[in-house]
Structure 1
């Protein structure tokens, strides 16, 4: 109708966010062929006495990555590790503290995933009554949306092993091809690839350097020790590769 004024559509209030970091810390137990994830027992509400991924709210003046490394340093001692930002989880209602009477505060989780070797990772239990490695396939119901974060991290880890040298960040400086193959089978399953084909493919890529040293383990033939050659890998870094 002519001359009729339109009322402005009211804009919703902007959300007030708190930002946390949650780490899916995986370890590879090649001795027992298990992929494990680190869980901690929550010591406060919400989800008191329930297992969760290690997490924290980001402190003033702290970057997201610094918060992720802080959580790692508070829970485990380890020399070799791989850490990568995973995903941001921020659906409304993912945290019970987002109640209507909480002044609209929303809780975001910027998640990271880490990979360490089980043999090298020493748990730090100072001030923590519940901290444990759980087989990925036996994880209970976790606090918040941490089962979803864990599932996302597990998929990313499997994908990273297929096209990137992430495994060499957690292996010792020198290793046998059997060591490398065992790490892959622990994460991807026994039937991911035949050892002979795996060995041939990795050597053909040209970034594994034979040290000329052999090591004897058990009654089998001595095995050659290899080293990851970062310089040889550099030209391939941005090219599509398939490691397996």
Structure 2
């Protein structure tokens, strides 16, 4: 929650100015560390947003200053992530479908990041950076449906496609959850995936 103009009392994405001698990536990690406690964090540069008039302060500056935002997206395991509430600003999680009107062009940034994540799930093993070391196929399916929507694929086809790719390793361990039959725990086999890394793949 912004505590100053412009966009006083609007929600915004977390951001920071880059310090002297600091890389963009280090600045992104720093601001995340100030807002969230988490052990496993996947961070990737998204895009540079620099359209004219994206910040109202530009029109007030007589020197023609422009405000650029180099955006990153991060993936965390929600149940392991703890927001850091401080005395300066409110901070909150929002489901993607319930995000309000944000400050600046942050709704555009968020939408762009969501599209990028959808695309990455289709061709890369990024999902395994978020899942625990061992997981059920239903855990994996739930992650995909959370990002891609409920109708992206039925579970049977999803399961068959992922197992056919050959880099999910059955640990031989089963886990019981609820009234259903025990489910097998799998691991992502990085060595089995390595020869496929530079080949065009469709995960879903």
Alignment-derived partner of residue 184 in structure 2: 224
Q: Show the 5 A alignment for 1:59-70.
A: 59-70=19-30
Gapped regions of structure 2 (runs ≥ 5): none
Q: How far does residue 75 in structure 1 lie from its aligned partner after superposition?
A: 0.7
More helix by share: 2
Give the distance between the partners of 2:11 and 2:116, measured in 1 at CA: 22
Deviation by residue 1:182-230 (Cα, 9 ceiling, x = unmatched):
1111111111111111111111111111111111111111111111111
Deviation by residue 1:144-179 (Cα, 9 ceiling, x = unmatched):
110110110010011111111111001001100010
Give the distance between the partners of 1:100 and 1:57, measured in 2 at CA: 19
Alignment-derived partner of residue 185 in structure 1: 145
> Could you state the TM-score of these two structures normalised by the residue count of structure 1?
0.81
Runs (4+) of structure 1 exceeding 6 A deviation are none
Give the distance between the partners of 1:208 and 1:181, measured in 2 at CA: 13
Secondary structure of the residue aligned to 2:31 is helix
Gapped regions of structure 1 (runs ≥ 5): 1-40
Q: How far does residue 129 in structure 1 lie from its aligned partner after superposition?
A: 3.4
The structure 2 residue matched to 1:115, chosen from 75, 88, 100, is: 75
Give the distance between the partners of 2:97 and 2:85, measured in 1 at CA: 24
Count of aligned pairs between the two proteins: 204
**TM-align CA RMSD:** 1.2
Secondary structure of the residue aligned to 1:160 is helix
> Could you state the TM-score of these two structures normalised by the residue count of structure 2?
0.96
Larger Rg belongs to: 1
Give the distance between the partners of 1:81 and 1:236, measured in 2 at CA: 24
The structure 2 residue matched to 1:147, chosen from 69, 90, 107, is: 107
Higher relative contact order, chain-length normalized (CA < 8 Å, sep 6+): 1
More strand by share: 1
Alignment-derived partner of residue 85 in structure 1: 45
